[in-house]
Structure 1
Amino acid sequence: MEGLAMTVVHAESPRVRDRLARLGLSVEAIEDVLRRAEAERSFCTPLDPVSLPGNIFWGRTIRFLRETYKPVGWTSISPSNVPLLLAPSGDFAITASSGSAETGYAALTPSTRYPKGNAVMKRVEANRQLLLFGEVETEPEQQDAGDGIPTWFLLYHHSKTDQGTRLHAELSLPNDTGSRGKISSWYERIILPWIDFEGFTPFVDDVDDDQGAIDIPIERLS
């Protein structure tokens, strides 16, 4: 994107751990969150609604992130119904989203799996303004908790393996809203180790609520 540097990608273990530590996070805690979310997702069967496994994984990822980090000063907020985990400093927030098949691969560029609604896109536009200009123009009376700060996305993607399911994930900071509602431009990406799950039927073709599904997706006109 014009005016922004190329994407910064952290993929090797020392760099990943150092960058997460500077955000107040850790590989182990995030992996534990994802494992717990997957455990709950695995209770679904083919008789459940097709959207249920994805909804459960997304919702439990949000919940377990909050449960993990609230005791150490993070805050649970949901401005405009976007579920966020707000850092103790108040300088940034984290949400979760399913990603495309490129998620978790340093050499590829992922996107969110599904289009986002207006509330999520406003947060990404705020990221863009902060990265370009260092400020976000908002009306004081319209500003909610967590507005006007960078929002990171914990992206995840399930793929099939011969033994079950492999979960790829990354914590990434978007810098543009992209096209057709899918976020596909990133300022910084922190690639997390993949996780293999064995012994149960994978659900990799389901859909999820993925915060903002009830919003009307927006598209920038050329």
Structure 2
Amino acid sequence: MGCVERLAMTVVHAEGLPARDRLAELGLSVERIEDALRRAESERNFCTPLDPVSLPGNIFWGRTIRFLRETYIPYGWTSASPSNVPLLVAPSGEFAITASSGSPETGYAALTPSTRYAKGNAVMKRVEANRQLLLFGEAEAEPERQDAGDGIPTWFLLYHHSKTDQGTRLHAELSFPNDTGSRGKISSWYERIILPWIDFEGGFTPFADDDDDDGDGGIDIPIERLS
């Protein structure tokens, strides 16, 4: 199989046993990820309409990362933030996980999601590292790592809130990007693990479906010389 073919294919593990088995291979479980997401949602629900409109999304993003770290660090995982990209690093040190809000297609096996917002240079470099690994293997990985977690493959826990008649539904998936895409949004995936959606009855819903801002998109500000 050629390099182009490898990057063009997307392996999708749908909800149920295939998704659970693949997560287990990575040292993860549906239950622990779901627990972290539920805890993050509880924190988000402390917001009111008087808060800044972006605050619920920022809280959810930040708490998701924190609770994933709290859940998995006792099992040998570690935290790292190279170039201000927050990561949960596997015990083997061979891959990492970060979190990001996703487009409305998130969590649907038959659709192709993207990150909801454009990403900064630091995040894009991690995606490019994924691409290089798929094309050339580990031998071509960055030889010098200045920060913990640098130069290793990175999975993205994508999530998306939507409104329902009863409250809010959260769709999520753990996916491995293989290209940086266009306009700063990541929209090309080598592998996707679809997680069961979570329904939240009642709670805080005024910003559902439009508040999934996160703190990892605007860290890097490109500067260009004026002609």
TM normalised by structure 2 equals 0.91
Contact 1:115 1:217 in 2 (8 A): no
Q: Is 2:67 the counterpart of 1:64?
A: yes
Contact 1:50 1:207 in 2 (8 A): no
**Map of 1:41 onto structure 2:** 44
Contact 2:156 2:176 in 1 (8 A): yes
**Map of 2:132 onto structure 1:** 129
What are structure 2's unaligned runs of at least 5 residues? none
CA drift of 1:59 comes to 0.2
**Map of 1:172 onto structure 2:** 175
**Map of 1:138 onto structure 2:** 142
Q: Is 2:215 the counterpart of 1:213?
A: no
Superposition pairs for residues 1-222 of structure 1, below 5 Å?
2-3=4-5, 4-135=7-138, 136-138=140-142, 140=144, 143-202=146-205, 203-204=207-208, 205-216=210-221
**Partner of 2:142: helix, strand, or coil?**
coil
Range that drifts further, 206-215 or 99-108: 206-215
CA drift of 1:209 comes to 3.0
CA drift of 1:217 comes to 5.9
Range that drifts further, 156-165 or 205-214: 205-214
* Identical-pair percentage: 84
CA drift of 1:149 comes to 1.3
CA drift of 1:210 comes to 3.2
Contact 1:58 1:210 in 2 (8 A): yes
**Partner of 1:183: helix, strand, or coil?**
coil
Moved segments of 4+, more than 3 Å = 135-139
| Residue identity matched to 1:111 | S
Q: C-alpha separation between the residues in 1 aligned to 2:35 and 2:95?
A: 22
Q: C-alpha separation between the residues in 2 aligned to 1:207 and 1:139?
A: 35
Check 1:207–1:195 CA distance in 2 against 1; reply closer, same or farther (3 A cut): closer
What is the aligned residue count?
Answer: 217
- Structure 1 residues 17-57: Cα deviation after superposition (integer angstroms, max 9, x where no partner): 10000000000000000000000001101100011000100
What are structure 1's unaligned runs of at least 5 residues? none
CA drift of 1:139 comes to 5.9
Q: C-alpha separation between the residues in 2 aligned to 1:206 and 1:123?
A: 25
TM normalised by structure 1 equals 0.93
Q: C-alpha separation between the residues in 1 aligned to 2:18 and 2:85?
A: 29
CA drift of 1:198 comes to 0.6
**Partner of 2:4: helix, strand, or coil?**
coil
Contact 1:116 1:217 in 2 (8 A): no
